[in-house]
Amino acid sequence: MKNILIVGCGDVAQRALPWLTRRFRVLALVRRAEAAAGLRARGVTPIIGDLDSLRSLRRLAGIADVVLHSAPPPDQGDDDPRTRRLLAALGRGESLARRLVYIGTSGVYGDCRGERVAESRPLKPTTARARRRVAAERRLRRFACRHQVRLSILRAPGIYAAERLSLERLKRGDPVLAEADDVFTNHIHADDLARAMMLAIFRGRGGRSYNINDDTAMKMGDYYDGMADVFDLPRPPRMSRADCAQCLSSMTMSFMSESRRLDNARMKTELGLRPRWPHVIEGLRAIRNEK
């Protein structure tokens, strides 16, 4: 049985554990010992280490045939030193991983003014958090080329699930952009992203990036209207961009400043993934029915 190492064993990766533990010996990097017990109970071997400390990562060298990397960069700067330390640790082993799957973000494309966006589009990040993701992608590509590792990059947009909904925002009555200012947004259910990660292990092509999103083509305000309708909450007020900036955080406004419609054809043809929830409203209704 091959060894698979999960770096960033959060919500999405944990959704894949039942499938992974039947096919691999699964190891997971964890920062704190308290998290280890829960993973052991699910058939995972925890490895204590911290991506902010290279010395703590020594045990990672040569332990896995496949690495699933979904750990986020730090909150500051334009680089991703966590990915740099991870790759330094992995590169020390005599036996390197042959397969690497990275879950990144579609934010690397920047603002595309509502245009259709395929993976071949040049990366033009407009925020520091997106620049950190571009830095991570570039480090991973250099590592994969140098060591002949098959790398697949999954670029995910807004991930939603029962625990990831902005219901509190709706309850507070936070505004969304008026139609004239509104932006296209993209979505993927956490379960579908987990499936993409699993399929990429076997089907992802080396050096390829994949947009991982459903088939929805919806503006952000319409998305929040739909969520409000599904969960019997008031629809949010619509305001101009200038008025929204007076009452929303700078981070929220940054999400409202980028508009793109991701093309998921490569995901379907190469990974063979057809989202279980092809439209975000279908996914929201499924979540509502589960509660």
CATH number of the domain residue 137 falls in: 3.40.50.720
Residue-wise pLDDT tens digits, 31-45: 988 889 999 999 999
Number of Cβ within 10 Å of residue 145's Cβ equals 12
Its pTM stands at 0.96
Kindly write down the DSSP assignment for every residue of 193-246, as one continuous string. HHHHHHHHHHHPPTTEEEE---S--EEHHHHHHHHHHHTT-PPPPEE-HHHHHH
In a domain, 32, yes or no: yes
Q: How far apart are the first and last CA of the chain?
A: 37
40-92 pLDDT tens trace: 999 999 999 999 999 999 999 999 999 999 999 999 999 999 999 999 999 98
Does the residue 229 lie in any domain? no
Domain annotation covers residue 10: yes
Q: What is each CA distance from 50 to 83, 87, 101, in whole angstroms?
A: 11, 13, 19
Domain assignment present for 145? yes
**Number of structural domains the chain divides into:** 1
Report pLDDT for 1: 59
In a domain, 224, yes or no: no
pLDDT tens string 6-30: 999 999 999 999 999 999 999 999 9
The residue assigned the tokens 């949010």 is: 236
In which domain, by residue range, is 143 found? 3-160+189-215+262-276
Query: Which residue carries 């571009």 as its tokens?
Result: 134
Nearest Cα neighbor of 15 from 189, 156, 202 is: 189
DSSP strand pairing (218-219 vs 184-185): antiparallel
